[in-house]
Amino acid sequence: MSILPGRRGLLAATAGLLLPTVAGAQPAWPTRAITIVNPYPPGGATDTVTRLIAERLAQELGQAVVVENRAGGATTIAINAVLGAPADGHMLLMGAAALAIYPSLQPNLTPREPLKVLEPIGLGYRSAFVLHVHPSLPVKTAAEFIAHAKANPGKIDFGSSGLGAVNHLAVELLRVMAGIDVNHVPYRGGAPALLDLRAGRIQAMWQAVLEALPAVREGATRPLAVSGSQRVAVLPDVPPMAETLPGFDATFWQGLFARTGTPAPVIARLEAAMRRVTADAALADRLGQMGVQLEGGTAAGLRELAERDSAMWSRVIRERGIKAE
């Protein structure tokens, strides 16, 4: 029997020699539906915006993108769900500003340093807060509010949607930057706080624009400033607080993350897709009517934002002695 390979054997052997080159090529991705884990419950603004982004992302990637809500644990339940999945880009996190807050506010939660175990893909959006006050407060501008607070230390009750929420930390940032003394009154969510603001039981609040809009339009509250660096489409006459306090910038944001170890080509494809999604003018207009600013950028830009906020909020939390309940 000949030990020389026949024609089929030779072809197989030749193909075998080519296998390393083929195997070295990047496999097709995505191979199945992609899941985006949102750390907030369904039905709210974060859920609505995440689903709109997921819908456009699916068009860009040619694959279904589903949203899974895993709320709780200061967003760590959602983070750990992603960290427990394979690092193949099929399960992603719609990470939020809480990534920059909870390590300083609740250091016993895990992961202790989320930015070391998550790979940024791209920023999705920012949502500013509006500082609105009860009409009984004799102020019409941010500068007048600060002057009034300085003249009446400890006499303004300033509500928030909860201890450690971004709109609470915006109160603390205002205290530090403006040098004012106000009383923080935490609520379990923005809705009960707004009820008390309407009734005059508290005098001021940083609130999500969409939540505050009905009261502002009715004249039940008076808007003074927005917390981001730019004006908001639905409140074009309300200036940023930064015009009164240069450098003031306190926004809620969400951006897409994968777990570390996800292949670089997958991250690159996701980043490019997110940049196209966040450049969609129709989507930007739709979200603008919700008080949300669609804002794209690079993976490096998202990491820079998260690290900047982490440094800012850790400083505010330390200086103000804020502790989780």
pLDDT, residue 44, reads 86
Comparing CA positions, the residue from 69, 65, 61 lying closest to residue 37 is 69
Between the CA atoms of 219, 174, 166 and 226, what dihedral angle is there, to the nearest 10 degrees?
A: 40
pLDDT, residue 27, reads 58
214 and 272, same domain (yes or no):
no
217 and 135, same domain (yes or no):
yes
| Token pair belonging to 25 | 């090529």
111 and 172, same domain (yes or no):
no
Could you tell me if residue 178 is inside a domain?
yes
pLDDT, residue 220, reads 98
Give the residues across from 292 on adjacent strands: 127
135 and 221, same domain (yes or no):
yes
221 and 181, same domain (yes or no):
yes
Q: At what angle do helices 45-61 and 281-288 cross, to 10 degrees?
A: 180
140 and 209, same domain (yes or no):
yes
94 and 149, same domain (yes or no):
no
pLDDT, residue 163, reads 93
Could you tell me if residue 208 is inside a domain?
yes
Could you tell me if residue 149 is inside a domain?
yes
Could you tell me if residue 3 is inside a domain?
no
Question: What CATH number has the domain bearing residue 90?
Answer: 3.40.190.150
Contact 101, 198 (CB under 8 A): no
Structural domains of the chain, count: 2
224 and 285, same domain (yes or no):
no
Could you tell me if residue 325 is inside a domain?
no
Q: Of the candidates 221, 243, 265, which is a domain's last residue?
A: 243
40 and 113, same domain (yes or no):
yes
**Which residue ranges of the chain lie beneath pLDDT 70?**
1-27, 325
| Token pair belonging to 256 | 């897409």
Could you tell me if residue 19 is inside a domain?
no
R_g over Cα of the chain: 24
Question: What CATH number has the domain bearing residue 229?
Answer: 3.40.190.10
146 and 220, same domain (yes or no):
yes
Q: Of the candidates 199, 219, 243, which is a domain's last residue?
A: 243
pTM: 0.87
Could you tell me if residue 8 is inside a domain?
no
Tokens 């808007």 belong to residue: 223
115 and 134, same domain (yes or no):
no
Give the up-direction half-sphere exposure of residue 293: CA atoms within 13 A in the CB hemisphere.
21
Q: Of the candidates 190, 214, 243, which is a domain's last residue?
A: 243
Residue 192: domain span? 129-243
